[in-house]
Amino acid sequence: MMKKAATLLLGVMTLVTCAYGNTAEQQEVQPIQTELKARLPEWRPRIFEHFPNGSPRLVIFYAEGEKGEEQAVKRIHFHENGRPLEETDLATVDEKSPGYEAWKSTTVPHGVSVRFRENGEIERVGYYDHGLLHGPLKIFFTKGRLQHLTHYKNGVPHGKILSYHENGQILAEGNYLEGKLEGDFIRYYESGEQEALYSYRSGELHGKAIEWHENGKERANRFYKEGKLHSERNQPAIILYTEDHSILEIQDYREGKPHGNHVKYHTNDRKKYVAHYEDGKIHGKEQYFDIKGTLQGEGEYVQGTKVGKHWKKHDNGTYSFLAHFDKKGELKEPIREFAENGQKVAEYSIDQDEKFDGPFFTWYEDGTPRMVCHYTHGEFEGSQQEFYPNGQKHFEGHYLNKERHGTFHEWHENGNLSFEGSFNKGNKEGTFKEWYASGAKKTEKNFKSSLYDGIQKEWFENGKSRLDARFDNGKKDGTHRMWNDQGTLVFEGAYDQDMPIGTHVVYFPSGEKREVVHYLVGKKEGLHELYYENGHTQLIETYRNDLLDGEAKGYFEDGSLAFIRTYKKDKPIGTHKDFFPPNIEAEKKHQVASIYHYNDKGEMDGEQKTFYPSGTTKTLISYDNGTLHGLKGLWDEKGNILEESKYLKGKLEGRHFQKDPEGREVVYHYKNNRKEGPHYIYYPEDVTDGVKVKAIEANYKNNELDGKASEFDPAGTLISFTTYKAGVKEGPAELFHRNGKSALKLTFKKDKREGLSQQFYPTGKLYKEVTFINDLKEGEEKSFFEDGRLNSVYRYKKGELEGLAQHWSQTGVLIFEASYKKGEQHGKFVKFYDNGNPRLEQTYVDGKLDGIKKSWDTNGNLTEMLYKNGVKVK
């Protein structure tokens, strides 16, 4: 019962969190708002986008500002099934704000944003401050399991970052500081074993980075200096290991560039590859060795340029690669590659940028030609041919100035032609044909400057037509027909320069009509008909000049009426009726589901009603020529009122009542669409054993809280009050224990804490006190044991810890003492065991450990560590 009651705390009372604030250790960014705003009765919804079925896709809610202007306050995107896709609270910013830059709009997210899956599960929760992410961003797997968490501050990551595997194990964790990774970033396997550990400083990798195999053995060590790979003395920048921790590869770097040795190893620890770099360029011999240590390949480099003979051999001793370069790095002859049987499989040349240049030949291992072509600086130029392993030609074409030019052919492996088409300087020109491997024609399409032009035809492999269409210079022009593989016509319609004309018909695979539309000069004109596959009519409506005009009727699949509506120039007019489907157990056949009335301008006018299948009224909303005017009501199926309000020319007036799904009753009073007068919230009666009990009582003046706002427990006992003036906290506020005695007292001035603030034990004894000046702690913050003895003293100056902080045990022994300067630890920091023996002694300079850190265990054994500027040195 208490859990349900707890949901009634609506944020009117913020006494506990605001009384003393966070402790010095709590550094996480707090969102400006922790829950989505409840939709208020005075907000006006406006639908901006619809789904094809007419249901809303995007709705924005507007509230009236101080000067009567409308301001967007909430945006809801919907799934097509009617469930919310995303709900976001909004605010308005000026064009010079960072939020405007982020969204390119003066309407930006502000507060909470929640994204939902189609089944209603939460997928993502984010918090914004005037358009910038501020607070935790959470992403969830299905069933509410956390997938990712990042904290943000003013639009950039700041604080803890966490990712999880689907099995719940942590995938990665780290910390951001003002948008940059800082400190250790750790990745884990699904088993929970560490996968990698990276160290960051100001967003750049710095120091040792370690990766592990899943068996726990090291996989890689990398060393960074300010974001760049860098070797230190005898420590290579990169070391890679096998799963049994044998070295696979080492490489030296200097400030991000390869510099020094690069060595790879076989699994028997013999060298596999050796090279040397100077200032980022390979220099000297590059050598390859087999598993026995025999030289298997070699080449010479001078400051990154290949010179002399470069060669590699297969394990059987035959050449696999052979190239000769002069002193300038230019090829003396084409490069050759060979198969293990000695057969040449490639011959080509490369330019100084190591791009293919000149004739290019490849062969299969039996000597059959595979590809014959020509490159110019890495791009095709001239004739190109490709062959299948059986010697049959696969492809033939020609490139001119790196563009396709002339006739191209492709063949299936059985020798049958698969494609034929011509290009003119890269553009498709003339007839393009395709064939199936069987020889049956697949497509025949005509092009002019790469645009469809003329007759376009497609066939299924069984020879039946798939498409017959005509284009004129890229635009549909003439009759278009489409068939399925059974030869049944599925679409027929005509076009004039891409504009639909005449009658267009879509068919079911069975051949039955699915849709009939009539067009005149590209616009719908006349009847538009939809059918079910059983032949029954689904929809009949009429268009004039592409606009709905006249009566529209919809039908269910059994032929019974689904709706009847009337339109004039695309605007709804007159009376619109929707009916329940026949599978719904309604009170009678053709039971009305809704009745809407519209004037000749398409505006709602009069009473709009929806009904339950039983025939009882579900909703009633009154309009006067498009403006809310009169009663608005919502009832449950038993006739119990769920919502009731009255509008006067579009504005709420008088009492508004609403009962939420939990049974909580909310009452506001309005004057000219602004809250004015008493406000009550009542507990659900199942929480109070059937008795009507107020949970909150407050008063509004000119749409702002004014006077005392009180909160009560389910027994009706006062648990807190706050005093407001013109919407801001002004004056005394107090929180009470269950026994009625004061738990907290404080005073607000212009929404800020001011003066003495005190907390009390349930016995009435003083627990803690501190003074606030302009919402900041000032002077001593003292806490006391219940017998009145001093427990702790913290000293503050303008909200920051300043000077000595002390803490005593219940026996009066000093257990903690530290000095602070401008909110940071500065000077000696000591802790003691309850018996007075030393536990910890260390010194801080401007918030960073500096000097010797001494720790004692319970037996008095001492451990010492040396720190300098916050970093452990020894």
Mean pLDDT of 765-781: 97
CA 503 – CA 803 distance, rounded (Å): 88
Write down the pLDDT at residue 577. Answer: 96
Give the residue from 430, 386, 447 showing the smallest Cα distance to 412: 386
pLDDT per position as a tens digit, 156-185: 999 999 999 999 999 999 999 999 999 999
List all residues 6 or more positions away from 677 whose beta carbon is below 8 Å from its beta carbon: 669, 671, 699, 700
Mean pLDDT of 863-874: 80
The chain-wide mean pLDDT, for the chain, equals 93
Q: Which two tokens stand for residue 428?
A: 């498709």
pLDDT per position as a tens digit, 315-338: 999 999 999 999 999 999 999 999
Q: What are phi and psi of 15, to 5 degrees?
A: -70, -45
- Whose tokens are 């299905």? That residue is 142
pLDDT category of residue 872 using cuts at 50, 70 and 90:
confident
Which residues in 488-514 are b (16+ Cβ under 10 Å) and which e? eebebbbbbeeebbeebbbbbeeeeeb
pLDDT above 90 (res 779): yes
pLDDT above 90 (res 68): no
Write down the pLDDT at residue 588. Answer: 64
Mean pLDDT of 457-473: 98
Write down the pLDDT at residue 4. Answer: 36
Contact criterion met (CB below 8 Å) for 816 and 829: no
Helix, strand or coil for residue 738?
coil
Write down the pLDDT at residue 586. Answer: 59
Q: DSSP E strands: which ranges in 752-861?
A: 752-753, 755-760, 766-773, 776-784, 790-797, 800-801, 803-808, 814-821, 824-832, 838-845, 848-849, 851-856
DSSP for 741-762?
SEEEEEEEETTEE-EEEEEE-T
pLDDT category of residue 23 using cuts at 50, 70 and 90:
very low
pLDDT above 60 (res 352): yes
10 Å CB burial of residue 595 (0-12, 13-18, 19+) is middle
pLDDT per position as a tens digit, 265-303: 999 999 999 999 999 999 999 999 999 999 999 999 999
Percent of the chain topping pLDDT 70: 96
pLDDT per position as a tens digit, 516-538: 999 999 999 999 999 999 999 99
Instruction: Indicate the pTM of the whole model.
Output: 0.76
Q: How much of the chain is helix, strand and coil, in % rounded to 5?
A: 0, 60, 35
CA 53 – CA 71 distance, rounded (Å): 29
CA 820 – CA 785 distance, rounded (Å): 24
Helices (H), 462-615: none
DSSP for 523-539?
EEEEEEEEE-TTS-EEE
Write down the pLDDT at residue 14. Answer: 41
Give the residue from 318, 300, 320 showing the smallest Cα distance to 310: 300
CA 586 – CA 592 distance, rounded (Å): 9
List all residues 6 or more positions away from 494 whose beta carbon is below 8 Å from its beta carbon: 478, 479, 480, 500, 501, 502, 504
In angstroms, the Cα distances linking 616 to 38, 557, 593, 635, 640 are 28, 26, 10, 9, 11
Q: Tell me how crowded residue 546 is: count the other CB atoms within 10 A of its CB.
A: 14
Q: Which helix (H) or strand (E) holds 101?
A: helix 98-103
Among the residue ranges 305-319, 503-517, 574-588, the one predicted with the least confidence is 574-588
Helix, strand or coil for residue 413?
coil
Percent of the chain topping pLDDT 90: 91
Among the residue ranges 587-596, 647-656, 756-765, the one predicted with the least confidence is 587-596
pLDDT above 90 (res 10): no
Q: What are phi and psi of 17, to 5 degrees?
A: -70, -30
In angstroms, the Cα distances linking 740 to 529, 712, 717, 771 are 72, 11, 8, 24
CA 549 – CA 543 distance, rounded (Å): 5
Summary count for the chain: helices (H), strands (E):
3, 82
Q: Tell me how crowded residue 259 is: count the other CB atoms within 10 A of its CB.
A: 22
pLDDT per position as a tens digit, 81-117: 889 999 999 999 999 999 999 999 999 999 999 999 9
In angstroms, the Cα distances linking 360 to 61, 319, 783 are 66, 19, 86
What's the residue count for the chain?
Answer: 874
CA 385 – CA 405 distance, rounded (Å): 14
Contact criterion met (CB below 8 Å) for 452 and 446: yes
CA 301 – CA 288 distance, rounded (Å): 14
pLDDT per position as a tens digit, 110-149: 999 999 999 999 999 999 999 999 999 999 999 999 999 9
Q: Tell me how crowded residue 166 is: count the other CB atoms within 10 A of its CB.
A: 11
DSSP 2: H
pLDDT per position as a tens digit, 683-710: 999 999 999 999 999 999 999 999 999 9
Q: Can you give the C-alpha Rg of the chain in angstroms? A: 39
pLDDT category of residue 587 using cuts at 50, 70 and 90:
low
pLDDT category of residue 52 using cuts at 50, 70 and 90:
confident
Contact criterion met (CB below 8 Å) for 42 and 670: yes
DSSP 23: -
Q: Rounding to the nearest 10 degrees, give the CA dihedral for residues 618, 620, 621, 624.
A: 150
Give the residue from 762, 804, 812, 813 showing the smallest Cα distance to 779: 804
Write down the pLDDT at residue 648. Answer: 96
Among the residue ranges 391-395, 555-559, 737-741, 863-867, the one predicted with the least confidence is 863-867
- Whose tokens are 């087999």? That residue is 290
Q: Which two tokens stand for residue 16?
A: 């506990």
pLDDT above 70 (res 75): yes
pLDDT per position as a tens digit, 596-655: 999 999 999 999 999 999 999 999 999 999 999 999 999 999 999 999 999 999 999 999
Contact criterion met (CB below 8 Å) for 250 and 239: yes
In angstroms, the Cα distances linking 614 to 560, 597, 638, 678 are 18, 22, 10, 37
